[in-house]
Amino acid sequence: MRGLQLPLTQTQKVRLQRALEKLEALSTKANSNASVTVADTIPVNYEDGFLKGHGTTELNGEVVATVCGVVERVNKLVYVRTLRARYKPEVGDIIVGRVIEVAPKRWRLDINYSQDAVLMLSSINLPDGIQRRRTAEDELNMRAIFEENDVICAEVRGFQHDGLHLQARSQKYGKLQRGQLLSIPSYLVKRRKQHWHYLDEYGIDLILGCNGFVWVGEHVETKDEMLVDQADKPDSQTSKTNDHSTSLEGQEQTYTPLETRQNICRIANAIRVLSMLGFVVTIEVVMEVVNLGVSQNMDTHEMLGSEFCVLVAEREAERRSQKKNRG
């Protein structure tokens, strides 16, 4: 929110300032006991003992914060959870990345992290859907699966000696096509049970990557049943593989409908507005912003204008105020 740069009129500036002050007051009241800034003293129980965690240090016999954030306590461990931080991968995270290199038996991906991630050839589902050992022929055909600049959805497998490893062993993972890749600060995407969202009303797939890469694209059906049939019926493997390749060629010749492309742009602009204002991006908030634009009869490009950003800030302040009153 600090880097907000919009050509606002005087009236819009006043409205936006009021909305932001209201939001700040609400958040301050909610976290007044836990929020700390640099050099603030953190109260601890010296008699029972304690452990200093991330974001804390001892100074003149007191525990003080070295970063801005919220104080968290786990048993005797005291640490500060930063509100604004770079992406830190955890096992099981759903991420969206872009291929930057095809290397021997692996792809290297940019995932908005301090180092590139590695996706091994053995950690993906092959196009034929058959579970088997990877051969030299598979390695030669790696570019037919993923090539440079392809956008991929995957899951964090863990850290190994040569870096961060990913896996894509499910049909829901893999190459993403016919959509937009957005980059927002990773702290605006909170870890939740579900990061895939199918917006049935718009025919759109929305993937909120934990690493701050967000995918908005045309809905794609996953066909796990076909893969099971292929595994159960090896005699028909060749013919079904040929049918599959033919269907892929047919898909490439078709185009995304204009209405679907407009919906992709509308949802992507809603996410851009939320990122610009510094609001946490969730499916509920995104749909509220999209519906607000529809109710105001705004064109897709108008959603990035000053007036709509002010409206979103005012609506968010009103929503949080009502939520606090109900609570």
Cα–Cα distances in Å, from 15 out to 1, 51, 85?
15, 45, 29
**DSSP one-letter string for 3-33:** T------HHHHHHHHHHHHHHHHHHHHHTTT
pLDDT tens profile 184-201: 999 899 889 899 999 999
Instruction: Tell me how far apart the alpha carbons of residues 79 and 101 are, in angstroms, rounded to a whole number.
Output: 38
Q: Which two tokens stand for residue 203?
A: 């025919």
The mean pLDDT value for 151-170 works out to 91
Q: 208: pLDDT confidence band, cut at 50, 70 and 90? A: very high
pLDDT tens profile 12-25: 889 988 988 888 78
Q: 238: pLDDT confidence band, cut at 50, 70 and 90? A: very low
Task: Say which residue, 324 or 228, is predicted with more confidence.
Answer: 324
Q: 327: pLDDT confidence band, cut at 50, 70 and 90? A: low
Q: 217: pLDDT confidence band, cut at 50, 70 and 90? A: very high
Whether the predicted pLDDT of 78 surpasses 60: yes
Whether the predicted pLDDT of 226 surpasses 60: no
pLDDT tens profile 83-132: 777 888 999 999 999 999 999 999 999 999 989 999 999 999 887 777 78
Instruction: Tell me how far apart the alpha carbons of residues 84 and 212 are, in angstroms, rounded to a whole number.
Output: 12
32-41, 188-197, 221-230, 246-255: which range is least confident on average?
221-230
Q: 239: pLDDT confidence band, cut at 50, 70 and 90? A: very low
Instruction: Tell me how far apart the alpha carbons of residues 278 and 286 are, in angstroms, rounded to a whole number.
Output: 13
Specify the CATH class of 35-82 in words.
mainly beta
DSSP-derived secondary structure letter, 291:
H
Q: Rounded to the nearest 5°, which phi and psi values hold at 220?
A: -125, 130
Judge whether 35-82 and 94-258 match in fold. yes
Whether the predicted pLDDT of 39 surpasses 90: no
Whether the predicted pLDDT of 240 surpasses 50: no
Instruction: Tell me how far apart the alpha carbons of residues 280 and 83 are, in angstroms, rounded to a whole number.
Output: 11
Whether the predicted pLDDT of 148 surpasses 60: yes
The mean pLDDT value for 158-172 works out to 89
Q: In terms of C-beta density within 10 A (0-12 exposed, 13-18 middle, 19 or more buried), how is residue 55 classed? A: buried
Selection from 19-28, 61-70, 131-140, 281-290 with the highest mean pLDDT: 281-290
Instruction: Tell me how far apart the alpha carbons of residues 277 and 273 are, in angstroms, rounded to a whole number.
Output: 6
Task: Say which residue, 130 or 297, is predicted with more confidence.
Answer: 297
CATH number for the region 94-258 comes to 2.40.50.140
Per-domain residue ranges for the chain? 35-82, 94-258
Averaged pLDDT score across all residues of the chain: 83
